[in-house]
Chain A
Amino acid sequence: QQPVQSPQAVILREGEDAVINCSSSKALYSVHWYRQKHGEAPVFLMILLKGGEQKGHEKISASFNEKKQQSSLYLTASQLSYSGTYFCGTHTTDSWGKFQFGAGTQVVVTP
């Protein structure tokens, strides 16, 4: 089952913050975050495994709440280069190999 992402889209001014949420109805083994620029391939940002760890990539960080089967991606002090569509991808504990993505969150950062 596909994870559910929210919001669908967000518009930011440079320097503003945003949070993108990803939730699953099934127990998660891992959550991955990818960013896709228009017409390009998705690019890996970070991976979070069971254990509730938090990771960071420049000013982009993420958390994983194993109990709630939720992950959040935090865009801090956004830059123009952060524009793109962000996808969370999940592996559930009962579906080995079935790596599904959410519908995506379109992020537009304006000057």
Chain B
Amino acid sequence: GAVVSQHPSRVICKSGTSVKIECRSLDFQATTMFWYRQFPKKSLMLMATSNEGSKATYEQGVEKDKFLINHASLTLSTLTVTSAHPEDSSFYICSATPAYNEQFFGPGTRLTVL
């Protein structure tokens, strides 16, 4: 149980384009999903908390207009990186919470912006 999927697993795009990443909880309903970013050999950095049916809560320093988050249903949250630049290249990982505090992670999306 507690399976989270993410799509796409890898994306390469040109600078200035937008990229959408989907996160789905496959076997449970998740009222809360989280989006993280991880740079090589660094720890996970929480970007935002996504609650179904409400606006996402962004961590300090994360541009909400650049990283658009939509949590349309109890099983789907999306992260759109708008006008991507090379410095946005990173490993983006979502997680979802089926029960008290336990977070289960999706497999991640590796974004490369040329």
A and B together in one complex: no
Residues of A within 8 A of B (CB): none
